[in-house]
A and B are shown apart, each in its own frame.
Chain A
Amino acid sequence: MDRRPRLFSSRLTRTERRVYGAVTVFFLLAFLATIWPIQAAFGGALPFVLSLPFDLFYLAAILVGSFFILLGLFVWEGRREERRRPNGRADDADATRGGSA
Protein backbone atom coordinates (compact mmCIF):
# COMPACT_ATOMS: atom_id res chain seq x y z
CA MET A 1 0.00 0.00 0.00
CA ASP A 2 1.13 3.52 -0.85
CA ARG A 3 2.64 5.18 2.25
CA ARG A 4 2.19 8.73 0.96
CA PRO A 5 -0.90 10.93 1.38
CA ARG A 6 -3.03 11.21 -1.78
CA LEU A 7 -4.21 14.79 -2.29
CA PHE A 8 -5.55 14.57 -5.85
CA SER A 9 -7.44 11.91 -7.70
CA SER A 10 -5.39 10.03 -10.29
CA ARG A 11 -8.30 10.53 -12.71
CA LEU A 12 -7.77 14.28 -12.97
CA THR A 13 -6.48 15.68 -16.24
CA ARG A 14 -3.35 17.82 -16.23
CA THR A 15 -5.44 21.00 -16.49
CA GLU A 16 -7.71 19.92 -13.64
CA ARG A 17 -4.71 19.06 -11.52
CA ARG A 18 -3.25 22.53 -12.18
CA VAL A 19 -6.51 24.27 -11.30
CA TYR A 20 -6.97 22.35 -8.03
CA GLY A 21 -3.29 22.75 -7.22
CA ALA A 22 -3.46 26.51 -7.76
CA VAL A 23 -6.60 26.83 -5.62
CA THR A 24 -5.01 24.76 -2.85
CA VAL A 25 -1.88 26.93 -2.92
CA PHE A 26 -4.02 30.09 -2.86
CA PHE A 27 -5.86 29.00 0.28
CA LEU A 28 -2.66 27.89 1.95
CA LEU A 29 -1.19 31.33 1.27
CA ALA A 30 -4.42 33.02 2.40
CA PHE A 31 -4.13 31.20 5.72
CA LEU A 32 -0.45 32.05 6.10
CA ALA A 33 -1.25 35.68 5.29
CA THR A 34 -3.43 35.90 8.40
CA ILE A 35 -0.74 34.83 10.87
CA TRP A 36 2.79 35.81 11.86
CA PRO A 37 5.06 36.74 10.10
CA ILE A 38 3.07 37.84 7.02
CA GLN A 39 0.22 39.44 8.98
CA ALA A 40 2.83 41.23 11.10
CA ALA A 41 4.06 43.00 7.97
CA PHE A 42 0.51 44.30 7.37
CA GLY A 43 -0.44 44.69 11.02
CA GLY A 44 -0.43 48.50 11.24
CA ALA A 45 -3.53 50.67 11.40
CA LEU A 46 -2.34 53.19 8.80
CA PRO A 47 -3.22 54.06 6.14
CA PHE A 48 -6.97 53.87 6.57
CA VAL A 49 -8.64 52.26 3.55
CA LEU A 50 -12.40 52.62 2.99
CA SER A 51 -12.48 54.21 6.47
CA LEU A 52 -11.09 51.02 8.03
CA PRO A 53 -7.70 50.55 9.71
CA PHE A 54 -5.35 48.90 7.23
CA ASP A 55 -5.04 45.61 9.19
CA LEU A 56 -8.83 45.23 9.23
CA PHE A 57 -9.13 46.11 5.55
CA TYR A 58 -6.36 43.61 4.79
CA LEU A 59 -8.30 40.75 6.37
CA ALA A 60 -11.53 41.84 4.68
CA ALA A 61 -9.69 41.82 1.34
CA ILE A 62 -8.45 38.25 1.94
CA LEU A 63 -12.01 37.22 2.76
CA VAL A 64 -13.37 38.78 -0.42
CA GLY A 65 -10.52 37.27 -2.44
CA SER A 66 -11.26 33.81 -1.00
CA PHE A 67 -14.91 34.21 -1.96
CA PHE A 68 -14.12 35.03 -5.59
CA ILE A 69 -11.54 32.25 -5.94
CA LEU A 70 -13.96 29.63 -4.67
CA LEU A 71 -16.79 31.09 -6.75
CA GLY A 72 -14.53 30.87 -9.80
CA LEU A 73 -13.75 27.23 -9.06
CA PHE A 74 -17.46 26.47 -8.57
CA VAL A 75 -18.40 28.05 -11.90
CA TRP A 76 -15.50 26.32 -13.67
CA GLU A 77 -16.58 22.94 -12.28
CA GLY A 78 -20.17 23.59 -13.36
CA ARG A 79 -19.06 24.32 -16.93
CA ARG A 80 -16.80 21.28 -16.95
CA GLU A 81 -19.69 19.06 -15.91
CA GLU A 82 -21.90 20.63 -18.58
CA ARG A 83 -19.28 19.86 -21.21
CA ARG A 84 -18.94 16.27 -20.04
CA ARG A 85 -22.61 15.40 -19.85
CA PRO A 86 -23.46 15.12 -23.59
CA ASN A 87 -20.48 12.81 -24.12
CA GLY A 88 -21.46 10.70 -21.13
CA ARG A 89 -17.91 10.85 -19.80
CA ALA A 90 -18.77 11.51 -16.20
CA ASP A 91 -21.78 11.87 -13.98
CA ASP A 92 -22.03 14.43 -11.21
CA ALA A 93 -20.62 12.11 -8.57
CA ASP A 94 -17.58 11.18 -10.64
CA ALA A 95 -16.87 14.78 -11.50
CA THR A 96 -16.97 15.75 -7.86
CA ARG A 97 -14.86 12.80 -6.83
CA GLY A 98 -12.31 13.76 -9.41
CA GLY A 99 -12.32 17.24 -7.96
CA SER A 100 -11.52 16.23 -4.44
CA ALA A 101 -8.25 17.77 -3.45
Chain B
Amino acid sequence: MPEWVVVFLVTCGYLVISLSVGLLSGRKTSSSTEGWVAGDRSLGFVVLYFIMGASIFSAFAFLGGPGWAYSRGAAAFYIIAYGTVGLVPWYFFGPRVARLGRRFGYVTQAELFAHRFRSPAISGVLAVISIVAFVPYLVLQMSGAGYVFEVLTRGHVPFWMGAALAYGVVLVYVFRSGVMGVGWTNTLQGIFMMGLAWGLGLYLPHKLYGGVGPMFERIMREAPRMLSAPGLGPDGSPWSWGAYSSAIAISVLGFSLWPHTFMKLYTARDERTLKRTVVFYPTFQIFLIPIMLIGFAGVLAFPGVKPADEILPTIVTSIGISPVMVGLFCAGALAASMSTGDALLHASASVAVKDFWMPLFQPDMPDRAERTAMRVLVVLIGALAYAFALFARKSLVALLLFGYGFIAQLAPLAFATFFWPRATKAGALSGLLAGFAVTVIWDLVPSLQWLGIRAGIYGVAANVILLAAVSLATAPPDEAHVAEFVVS
Protein backbone atom coordinates (compact mmCIF):
# COMPACT_ATOMS: atom_id res chain seq x y z
CA MET B 1 0.00 0.00 0.00
CA PRO B 2 1.44 3.44 -0.89
CA GLU B 3 2.66 5.37 2.13
CA TRP B 4 0.34 8.31 1.56
CA VAL B 5 -2.67 5.96 1.70
CA VAL B 6 -1.57 4.71 5.15
CA VAL B 7 -1.18 8.31 6.32
CA PHE B 8 -4.59 9.15 4.94
CA LEU B 9 -6.30 6.14 6.56
CA VAL B 10 -4.76 6.80 10.01
CA THR B 11 -5.89 10.41 9.78
CA CYS B 12 -9.38 9.39 8.71
CA GLY B 13 -9.47 7.07 11.75
CA TYR B 14 -8.79 10.07 13.96
CA LEU B 15 -11.53 12.07 12.21
CA VAL B 16 -14.05 9.27 12.77
CA ILE B 17 -13.16 9.12 16.50
CA SER B 18 -13.48 12.92 16.80
CA LEU B 19 -16.83 12.84 15.07
CA SER B 20 -18.12 10.06 17.34
CA VAL B 21 -16.97 11.84 20.51
CA GLY B 22 -18.45 15.12 19.28
CA LEU B 23 -21.82 13.59 18.47
CA LEU B 24 -22.12 11.47 21.62
CA SER B 25 -21.19 14.29 23.98
CA GLY B 26 -24.17 16.45 23.04
CA ARG B 27 -26.75 13.94 24.27
CA LYS B 28 -26.77 15.02 27.91
CA THR B 29 -27.40 18.74 27.55
CA SER B 30 -30.81 20.36 27.38
CA SER B 31 -32.24 21.37 24.01
CA SER B 32 -32.27 25.05 24.99
CA THR B 33 -29.98 27.79 23.68
CA GLU B 34 -28.27 27.75 27.10
CA GLY B 35 -27.54 24.06 26.60
CA TRP B 36 -26.14 24.53 23.08
CA VAL B 37 -24.09 27.65 23.89
CA ALA B 38 -23.15 27.29 27.58
CA GLY B 39 -23.51 23.52 28.18
CA ASP B 40 -26.13 24.23 30.90
CA ARG B 41 -23.26 25.79 32.95
CA SER B 42 -22.13 22.36 34.06
CA LEU B 43 -18.53 21.86 32.87
CA GLY B 44 -15.98 20.51 35.34
CA PHE B 45 -12.24 21.14 35.63
CA VAL B 46 -10.92 18.54 33.16
CA VAL B 47 -13.12 19.51 30.22
CA LEU B 48 -12.76 23.22 30.92
CA TYR B 49 -8.97 22.86 31.17
CA PHE B 50 -8.79 21.16 27.79
CA ILE B 51 -11.27 23.55 26.20
CA MET B 52 -9.10 26.45 27.28
CA GLY B 53 -5.83 24.84 26.33
CA ALA B 54 -6.90 23.30 23.06
CA SER B 55 -9.01 26.27 21.95
CA ILE B 56 -6.09 28.62 22.50
CA PHE B 57 -3.47 26.32 20.98
CA SER B 58 -4.32 25.96 17.40
CA ALA B 59 -2.89 25.61 13.94
CA PHE B 60 -1.20 28.90 14.83
CA ALA B 61 0.77 27.31 17.66
CA PHE B 62 1.33 23.99 15.95
CA LEU B 63 2.34 25.19 12.48
CA GLY B 64 2.87 28.95 12.80
CA GLY B 65 4.97 28.55 15.98
CA PRO B 66 7.57 26.18 14.48
CA GLY B 67 7.35 28.24 11.26
CA TRP B 68 8.37 31.36 13.15
CA ALA B 69 11.13 29.62 15.11
CA TYR B 70 12.44 28.17 11.84
CA SER B 71 12.38 31.37 9.81
CA ARG B 72 12.65 34.12 12.45
CA GLY B 73 14.39 32.46 15.40
CA ALA B 74 13.91 34.13 18.78
CA ALA B 75 11.09 36.31 17.39
CA ALA B 76 8.91 33.25 18.00
CA PHE B 77 9.49 33.57 21.74
CA TYR B 78 6.85 36.28 21.82
CA ILE B 79 4.27 33.46 21.61
CA ILE B 80 5.50 32.11 24.95
CA ALA B 81 5.87 35.60 26.41
CA TYR B 82 2.27 36.71 26.04
CA GLY B 83 0.93 33.49 27.47
CA THR B 84 2.79 33.98 30.75
CA VAL B 85 0.27 36.52 31.99
CA GLY B 86 -2.36 36.53 29.24
CA LEU B 87 -5.00 34.47 31.04
CA VAL B 88 -4.37 35.83 34.55
CA PRO B 89 -7.11 38.52 34.31
CA TRP B 90 -9.61 35.64 34.22
CA TYR B 91 -8.65 34.69 37.74
CA PHE B 92 -9.83 38.06 38.94
CA PHE B 93 -12.86 38.92 36.79
CA GLY B 94 -13.80 35.39 35.62
CA PRO B 95 -15.83 34.41 38.72
CA ARG B 96 -17.72 37.70 38.50
CA VAL B 97 -18.53 37.02 34.83
CA ALA B 98 -19.73 33.50 35.65
CA ARG B 99 -21.88 34.78 38.52
CA LEU B 100 -23.44 37.51 36.37
CA GLY B 101 -24.03 34.94 33.61
CA ARG B 102 -25.99 32.75 36.01
CA ARG B 103 -27.95 35.65 37.38
CA PHE B 104 -28.91 37.34 34.10
CA GLY B 105 -28.75 34.35 31.75
CA TYR B 106 -25.87 35.57 29.56
CA VAL B 107 -24.27 33.12 27.19
CA THR B 108 -22.11 35.53 25.17
CA GLN B 109 -19.57 38.20 26.01
CA ALA B 110 -21.45 41.11 24.42
CA GLU B 111 -24.60 40.37 26.41
CA LEU B 112 -22.70 41.25 29.58
CA PHE B 113 -21.07 44.42 28.25
CA ALA B 114 -24.27 45.60 26.56
CA HIS B 115 -26.25 45.07 29.78
CA ARG B 116 -23.64 46.91 31.88
CA PHE B 117 -23.88 49.93 29.58
CA ARG B 118 -27.56 49.39 28.68
CA SER B 119 -26.74 49.65 25.00
CA PRO B 120 -27.87 47.31 22.19
CA ALA B 121 -25.51 49.32 19.97
CA ILE B 122 -22.51 48.09 21.99
CA SER B 123 -23.76 44.57 21.43
CA GLY B 124 -23.97 45.18 17.68
CA VAL B 125 -20.50 46.77 17.51
CA LEU B 126 -18.99 43.92 19.53
CA ALA B 127 -20.67 41.36 17.30
CA VAL B 128 -19.16 42.99 14.21
CA ILE B 129 -15.70 43.26 15.80
CA SER B 130 -15.88 39.66 16.98
CA ILE B 131 -16.87 38.25 13.62
CA VAL B 132 -14.33 40.39 11.76
CA ALA B 133 -11.68 38.94 14.11
CA PHE B 134 -13.06 35.39 14.03
CA VAL B 135 -13.07 34.95 10.28
CA PRO B 136 -9.28 35.33 9.74
CA TYR B 137 -8.71 33.18 12.82
CA LEU B 138 -11.01 30.49 11.43
CA VAL B 139 -9.41 30.79 7.99
CA LEU B 140 -6.07 30.21 9.69
CA GLN B 141 -7.34 26.98 11.24
CA MET B 142 -8.73 25.72 7.94
CA SER B 143 -5.55 26.66 6.12
CA GLY B 144 -3.60 24.69 8.73
CA ALA B 145 -5.74 21.61 8.12
CA GLY B 146 -5.37 21.99 4.36
CA TYR B 147 -1.56 22.40 4.58
CA VAL B 148 -1.18 19.35 6.78
CA PHE B 149 -3.15 17.05 4.51
CA GLU B 150 -1.49 18.34 1.35
CA VAL B 151 2.09 18.09 2.60
CA LEU B 152 1.78 14.80 4.49
CA THR B 153 0.07 12.96 1.65
CA ARG B 154 2.59 14.51 -0.77
CA GLY B 155 -0.13 16.33 -2.66
CA HIS B 156 -2.44 13.34 -3.15
CA VAL B 157 -5.02 14.97 -0.89
CA PRO B 158 -5.03 18.58 -2.09
CA PHE B 159 -5.40 21.61 0.17
CA TRP B 160 -9.08 22.14 -0.65
CA MET B 161 -10.00 18.55 0.08
CA GLY B 162 -8.03 18.37 3.34
CA ALA B 163 -9.63 21.52 4.70
CA ALA B 164 -13.07 20.30 3.59
CA LEU B 165 -12.64 16.88 5.25
CA ALA B 166 -11.48 18.22 8.60
CA TYR B 167 -14.02 21.02 8.74
CA GLY B 168 -16.84 18.84 7.45
CA VAL B 169 -16.38 16.81 10.63
CA VAL B 170 -16.20 19.96 12.80
CA LEU B 171 -19.32 21.33 11.21
CA VAL B 172 -21.33 18.19 11.95
CA TYR B 173 -20.44 17.90 15.63
CA VAL B 174 -20.74 21.63 16.36
CA PHE B 175 -24.09 21.70 14.56
CA ARG B 176 -25.36 18.71 16.52
CA SER B 177 -23.80 19.08 19.97
CA GLY B 178 -22.85 22.75 20.43
CA VAL B 179 -20.39 23.51 23.22
CA MET B 180 -20.45 19.98 24.65
CA GLY B 181 -19.21 18.68 21.29
CA VAL B 182 -16.49 21.33 21.37
CA GLY B 183 -15.58 20.47 24.98
CA TRP B 184 -15.22 16.71 24.72
CA THR B 185 -13.50 16.73 21.32
CA ASN B 186 -11.12 19.38 22.70
CA THR B 187 -10.28 17.01 25.55
CA LEU B 188 -9.39 14.25 23.09
CA GLN B 189 -7.58 16.67 20.78
CA GLY B 190 -5.72 18.39 23.63
CA ILE B 191 -4.30 15.12 24.96
CA PHE B 192 -3.30 14.13 21.45
CA MET B 193 -1.57 17.38 20.54
CA MET B 194 0.28 17.70 23.85
CA GLY B 195 1.63 14.15 23.50
CA LEU B 196 2.67 14.83 19.95
CA ALA B 197 4.33 18.18 20.70
CA TRP B 198 6.43 16.78 23.54
CA GLY B 199 7.24 13.62 21.58
CA LEU B 200 8.37 15.43 18.44
CA GLY B 201 9.97 18.34 20.29
CA LEU B 202 12.34 16.00 22.10
CA TYR B 203 12.73 13.40 19.34
CA LEU B 204 13.61 15.66 16.39
CA PRO B 205 16.57 17.49 18.01
CA HIS B 206 17.86 14.11 19.22
CA LYS B 207 17.49 12.49 15.81
CA LEU B 208 18.94 15.39 13.80
CA TYR B 209 21.61 16.78 16.17
CA GLY B 210 22.06 14.35 19.04
CA GLY B 211 20.04 16.39 21.55
CA VAL B 212 18.59 19.79 22.38
CA GLY B 213 21.89 21.20 23.70
CA PRO B 214 23.95 20.15 20.66
CA MET B 215 21.24 21.57 18.37
CA PHE B 216 21.39 25.01 19.96
CA GLU B 217 25.19 24.92 20.08
CA ARG B 218 25.32 24.31 16.33
CA ILE B 219 22.79 27.06 15.62
CA MET B 220 24.81 29.37 17.87
CA ARG B 221 27.91 28.65 15.79
CA GLU B 222 26.30 28.86 12.35
CA ALA B 223 23.35 31.27 12.74
CA PRO B 224 23.76 33.09 16.07
CA ARG B 225 21.30 35.88 15.27
CA MET B 226 18.48 33.31 15.30
CA LEU B 227 18.85 32.79 19.05
CA SER B 228 18.94 36.34 20.38
CA ALA B 229 15.70 38.20 21.12
CA PRO B 230 13.97 39.90 19.39
CA GLY B 231 15.03 37.60 16.54
CA LEU B 232 14.49 38.31 12.87
CA GLY B 233 11.83 40.21 10.94
CA PRO B 234 9.88 38.79 8.00
CA ASP B 235 12.64 39.82 5.57
CA GLY B 236 15.42 38.19 7.59
CA SER B 237 16.81 41.43 9.00
CA PRO B 238 16.82 41.94 12.81
CA TRP B 239 13.32 42.52 14.19
CA SER B 240 12.73 45.69 16.18
CA TRP B 241 12.06 45.71 19.91
CA GLY B 242 9.05 47.91 19.16
CA ALA B 243 7.47 45.25 16.96
CA TYR B 244 8.39 42.41 19.35
CA SER B 245 7.15 44.20 22.47
CA SER B 246 3.98 45.51 20.88
CA ALA B 247 3.13 42.04 19.52
CA ILE B 248 3.34 40.79 23.12
CA ALA B 249 1.40 43.74 24.56
CA ILE B 250 -1.42 43.53 22.05
CA SER B 251 -1.66 39.77 22.54
CA VAL B 252 -1.73 40.09 26.35
CA LEU B 253 -4.52 42.66 26.10
CA GLY B 254 -6.58 40.48 23.80
CA PHE B 255 -5.71 37.04 25.15
CA SER B 256 -8.38 36.76 27.84
CA LEU B 257 -11.00 38.60 25.81
CA TRP B 258 -11.41 36.52 22.66
CA PRO B 259 -15.19 36.10 22.67
CA HIS B 260 -15.03 32.37 21.87
CA THR B 261 -12.94 31.66 24.99
CA PHE B 262 -14.59 34.35 27.14
CA MET B 263 -17.93 32.59 26.57
CA LYS B 264 -16.51 29.51 28.25
CA LEU B 265 -16.55 31.43 31.54
CA TYR B 266 -20.30 30.83 31.53
CA THR B 267 -19.88 27.08 31.15
CA ALA B 268 -18.02 26.45 34.43
CA ARG B 269 -19.78 24.43 37.10
CA ASP B 270 -18.61 26.80 39.87
CA GLU B 271 -16.11 29.53 40.62
CA ARG B 272 -13.41 27.32 42.13
CA THR B 273 -13.46 25.19 38.97
CA LEU B 274 -12.94 28.30 36.92
CA LYS B 275 -10.05 29.54 39.05
CA ARG B 276 -8.43 26.11 39.07
CA THR B 277 -8.54 26.11 35.26
CA VAL B 278 -6.72 29.45 35.12
CA VAL B 279 -4.15 28.31 37.68
CA PHE B 280 -3.28 25.18 35.71
CA TYR B 281 -3.32 26.82 32.31
CA PRO B 282 0.51 27.32 32.26
CA THR B 283 0.90 23.52 32.30
CA PHE B 284 -0.66 23.66 28.83
CA GLN B 285 1.25 26.77 27.82
CA ILE B 286 4.63 25.17 28.58
CA PHE B 287 4.13 22.87 25.60
CA LEU B 288 5.19 25.78 23.43
CA ILE B 289 8.78 24.97 24.43
CA PRO B 290 8.85 21.69 22.45
CA ILE B 291 6.96 23.49 19.66
CA MET B 292 9.88 25.95 19.45
CA LEU B 293 12.37 23.07 19.51
CA ILE B 294 10.65 21.54 16.47
CA GLY B 295 11.08 24.77 14.50
CA PHE B 296 14.72 25.20 15.53
CA ALA B 297 15.40 21.58 14.53
CA GLY B 298 14.70 22.56 10.93
CA VAL B 299 16.98 25.61 10.80
CA LEU B 300 20.20 23.85 9.79
CA ALA B 301 18.84 20.46 8.73
CA PHE B 302 16.17 21.69 6.28
CA PRO B 303 17.12 25.12 4.94
CA GLY B 304 14.94 26.94 2.42
CA VAL B 305 11.48 25.50 3.19
CA LYS B 306 8.78 27.92 2.00
CA PRO B 307 6.28 28.80 3.28
CA ALA B 308 7.93 28.45 6.69
CA ASP B 309 4.63 27.26 8.21
CA GLU B 310 5.21 23.95 6.39
CA ILE B 311 8.47 23.18 8.19
CA LEU B 312 6.94 20.72 10.65
CA PRO B 313 5.13 18.56 8.09
CA THR B 314 8.20 18.81 5.85
CA ILE B 315 10.51 17.47 8.57
CA VAL B 316 8.10 14.69 9.48
CA THR B 317 7.91 13.44 5.88
CA SER B 318 11.67 13.68 5.35
CA ILE B 319 13.22 11.76 8.23
CA GLY B 320 12.07 8.29 7.31
CA ILE B 321 9.62 7.52 10.12
CA SER B 322 6.85 4.99 9.55
CA PRO B 323 3.74 6.16 7.67
CA VAL B 324 1.60 5.22 10.69
CA MET B 325 3.57 7.70 12.79
CA VAL B 326 3.24 10.30 10.05
CA GLY B 327 -0.50 9.65 10.07
CA LEU B 328 -0.60 10.13 13.84
CA PHE B 329 1.29 13.37 13.44
CA CYS B 330 -1.20 14.46 10.79
CA ALA B 331 -4.02 13.68 13.21
CA GLY B 332 -2.30 15.65 15.99
CA ALA B 333 -1.86 18.69 13.78
CA LEU B 334 -5.48 18.44 12.69
CA ALA B 335 -6.46 18.22 16.35
CA ALA B 336 -4.70 21.54 16.96
CA SER B 337 -6.53 23.14 14.06
CA MET B 338 -9.95 21.63 14.73
CA SER B 339 -9.94 22.25 18.48
CA THR B 340 -9.76 25.98 17.87
CA GLY B 341 -11.82 26.03 14.70
CA ASP B 342 -14.78 24.32 16.35
CA ALA B 343 -14.86 26.86 19.20
CA LEU B 344 -14.65 29.71 16.70
CA LEU B 345 -17.40 28.34 14.53
CA HIS B 346 -19.64 27.76 17.54
CA ALA B 347 -18.94 31.24 18.92
CA SER B 348 -19.40 33.02 15.57
CA ALA B 349 -22.88 31.61 15.16
CA SER B 350 -23.83 32.35 18.77
CA VAL B 351 -22.49 35.92 18.59
CA ALA B 352 -24.19 36.66 15.27
CA VAL B 353 -27.58 35.64 16.65
CA LYS B 354 -27.39 36.69 20.33
CA ASP B 355 -25.34 39.86 19.95
CA PHE B 356 -26.25 41.18 16.53
CA TRP B 357 -29.58 39.94 15.25
CA MET B 358 -31.56 39.71 18.48
CA PRO B 359 -30.70 43.02 20.21
CA LEU B 360 -30.98 45.04 17.04
CA PHE B 361 -33.86 43.38 15.18
CA GLN B 362 -35.73 40.67 17.12
CA PRO B 363 -35.29 40.90 20.92
CA ASP B 364 -38.11 38.41 21.62
CA MET B 365 -36.90 35.64 19.31
CA PRO B 366 -38.17 32.25 20.60
CA ASP B 367 -35.53 29.93 22.07
CA ARG B 368 -36.12 27.26 19.46
CA ALA B 369 -35.71 29.75 16.60
CA GLU B 370 -32.50 31.06 18.22
CA ARG B 371 -30.97 27.64 18.23
CA THR B 372 -32.05 26.93 14.65
CA ALA B 373 -30.62 30.25 13.47
CA MET B 374 -27.32 29.49 15.21
CA ARG B 375 -27.10 26.11 13.52
CA VAL B 376 -27.80 27.58 10.09
CA LEU B 377 -25.10 30.19 10.71
CA VAL B 378 -22.59 27.48 11.67
CA VAL B 379 -22.94 26.20 8.11
CA LEU B 380 -22.88 29.64 6.45
CA ILE B 381 -19.88 30.97 8.40
CA GLY B 382 -18.03 27.70 7.86
CA ALA B 383 -18.61 28.03 4.11
CA LEU B 384 -17.46 31.66 4.10
CA ALA B 385 -14.23 30.86 5.97
CA TYR B 386 -13.61 27.93 3.65
CA ALA B 387 -13.90 30.23 0.63
CA PHE B 388 -11.36 32.62 2.20
CA ALA B 389 -9.03 29.71 2.97
CA LEU B 390 -9.09 28.66 -0.67
CA PHE B 391 -8.70 32.07 -2.23
CA ALA B 392 -6.92 34.30 0.31
CA ARG B 393 -4.14 32.33 1.99
CA LYS B 394 -1.70 34.47 3.98
CA SER B 395 0.98 33.70 6.54
CA LEU B 396 -0.76 32.03 9.48
CA VAL B 397 0.65 34.23 12.21
CA ALA B 398 0.14 37.46 10.27
CA LEU B 399 -3.54 36.59 10.09
CA LEU B 400 -3.70 35.98 13.82
CA LEU B 401 -2.04 39.27 14.71
CA PHE B 402 -4.58 41.03 12.49
CA GLY B 403 -7.35 39.54 14.64
CA TYR B 404 -5.63 40.35 17.92
CA GLY B 405 -5.52 44.05 16.98
CA PHE B 406 -9.31 44.10 16.97
CA ILE B 407 -9.91 41.96 20.03
CA ALA B 408 -7.49 44.05 22.11
CA GLN B 409 -10.00 46.89 21.72
CA LEU B 410 -12.20 45.04 24.20
CA ALA B 411 -9.64 45.45 27.01
CA PRO B 412 -10.54 49.05 27.99
CA LEU B 413 -14.23 48.12 27.83
CA ALA B 414 -13.71 45.10 30.10
CA PHE B 415 -11.71 47.20 32.57
CA ALA B 416 -14.42 49.86 32.61
CA THR B 417 -17.14 47.23 33.04
CA PHE B 418 -15.64 45.66 36.16
CA PHE B 419 -13.44 48.35 37.71
CA TRP B 420 -14.59 51.83 36.72
CA PRO B 421 -18.11 52.75 37.88
CA ARG B 422 -17.95 56.17 36.20
CA ALA B 423 -17.72 54.70 32.67
CA THR B 424 -20.79 55.58 30.59
CA LYS B 425 -22.48 54.16 27.52
CA ALA B 426 -21.33 57.08 25.35
CA GLY B 427 -17.75 56.69 26.59
CA ALA B 428 -17.70 52.93 26.01
CA LEU B 429 -19.17 53.20 22.55
CA SER B 430 -16.97 56.06 21.38
CA GLY B 431 -13.87 54.33 22.76
CA LEU B 432 -14.69 51.11 20.94
CA LEU B 433 -15.42 52.82 17.62
CA ALA B 434 -12.30 54.99 17.83
CA GLY B 435 -10.13 51.99 18.70
CA PHE B 436 -11.55 49.96 15.87
CA ALA B 437 -11.15 52.79 13.34
CA VAL B 438 -7.58 53.65 14.36
CA THR B 439 -6.56 49.98 14.20
CA VAL B 440 -7.96 49.65 10.69
CA ILE B 441 -6.28 52.86 9.48
CA TRP B 442 -2.91 52.00 11.04
CA ASP B 443 -3.14 48.48 9.60
CA LEU B 444 -3.87 49.78 6.12
CA VAL B 445 -1.09 52.40 6.25
CA PRO B 446 1.97 50.58 7.67
CA SER B 447 4.10 53.74 7.38
CA LEU B 448 2.12 55.10 10.34
CA GLN B 449 3.46 52.30 12.57
CA TRP B 450 6.31 54.07 14.32
CA LEU B 451 9.18 51.71 15.34
CA GLY B 452 7.13 48.80 14.04
CA ILE B 453 4.63 49.15 16.89
CA ARG B 454 1.50 47.24 15.95
CA ALA B 455 -1.67 48.99 14.83
CA GLY B 456 -3.76 47.65 17.70
CA ILE B 457 -1.63 49.53 20.26
CA TYR B 458 -2.56 52.85 18.65
CA GLY B 459 -6.15 51.69 18.62
CA VAL B 460 -6.08 50.89 22.35
CA ALA B 461 -4.53 54.31 23.10
CA ALA B 462 -7.29 56.10 21.18
CA ASN B 463 -9.87 53.81 22.80
CA VAL B 464 -8.71 54.60 26.37
CA ILE B 465 -8.57 58.35 25.74
CA LEU B 466 -12.06 58.47 24.24
CA LEU B 467 -13.55 56.14 26.85
CA ALA B 468 -12.21 58.26 29.72
CA ALA B 469 -12.86 61.70 28.21
CA VAL B 470 -16.38 61.01 26.94
CA SER B 471 -17.39 59.18 30.14
CA LEU B 472 -16.30 62.09 32.31
CA ALA B 473 -18.04 64.56 29.99
CA THR B 474 -21.40 62.73 30.08
CA ALA B 475 -23.87 62.15 32.91
CA PRO B 476 -22.87 59.33 35.30
CA PRO B 477 -24.73 56.02 34.94
CA ASP B 478 -27.30 54.72 37.42
CA GLU B 479 -25.32 53.78 40.53
CA ALA B 480 -27.50 50.85 41.61
CA HIS B 481 -27.30 49.25 38.17
CA VAL B 482 -23.52 49.70 37.90
CA ALA B 483 -23.05 48.20 41.37
CA GLU B 484 -24.12 44.82 39.95
CA PHE B 485 -20.98 44.76 37.80
CA VAL B 486 -18.25 46.78 39.47
CA VAL B 487 -16.04 45.74 42.41
CA SER B 488 -17.84 47.01 45.50
Contact = CB atoms under 8 A, between A and B. Distances in A.
Contact of B227 (A7, A55, A73, A96): A55
A1 B228 contact: no
Interface size class of B (residues with CB under 8 A): 35 or more
B2 interface: no
* Residue from B74, B229, B279 whose CB has the most chain A CB atoms within 10 Å: B229
Contacts of A4: 422
A2 to B, nearest CB: 6
Given A6-B486, A34-B84, 16 more contacts: A1-B421, A1-B479, A11-B488, A43-B74, A46-B220, A51-B212, A52-B289, A53-B227, A55-B228, A56-B80, A60-B80, A60-B289, A63-B286, A67-B283, A100-B92, A100-B418
28 contacts: A2-B422, A7-B487, A31-B252, A35-B81, A35-B241, A35-B248, A36-B244, A36-B245, A39-B244, A40-B241, A43-B74, A44-B228, A45-B228, A46-B220, A51-B211, A53-B216, A55-B228, A56-B77, A56-B80, A63-B80, A63-B286, A67-B282, A70-B278, A70-B282, A92-B272, A96-B271, A96-B275, A97-B96
Nearest to B215: A51
A55 B241 contact: no
B203 interface: no
A25 interface: no
A5 B486 CA distance: 9
A93 to B, nearest CB: 6
A15 to B, nearest CB: 18
Interface string A21-50: 000000100110011110110011110100
Contacts of B292: 56
B95 interface: yes
A12 B29 CA distance: 38
Where chain B touches its partner, the secondary structure class is helix
3 residue pairs, one from A and one from B, having the closest CB atoms: A45-B227, A43-B229, A35-B245
Contacts of A3: 422, 472
A48 B88 CA distance: 29
Interface in B184-231: 211-213, 216-217, 220, 224, 227-230
B74 A55 contact: yes
Interface in A62-101: 62-64, 66-67, 70-71, 73-74, 77-78, 92-93, 96-97, 99-101
B303 interface: no
Nearest to A67: B282
Interface of A: 1-11, 27, 30-31, 34-37, 39-40, 43-46, 48, 51-53, 55-56, 59-60, 62-64, 66-67, 70-71, 73-74, 77-78, 92-93, 96-97, 99-101
B469 interface: no
A23 to B, nearest CB: 9
Contacts of B99: 93, 96-97
Contacts of A63: 80, 83-84, 282, 285-286
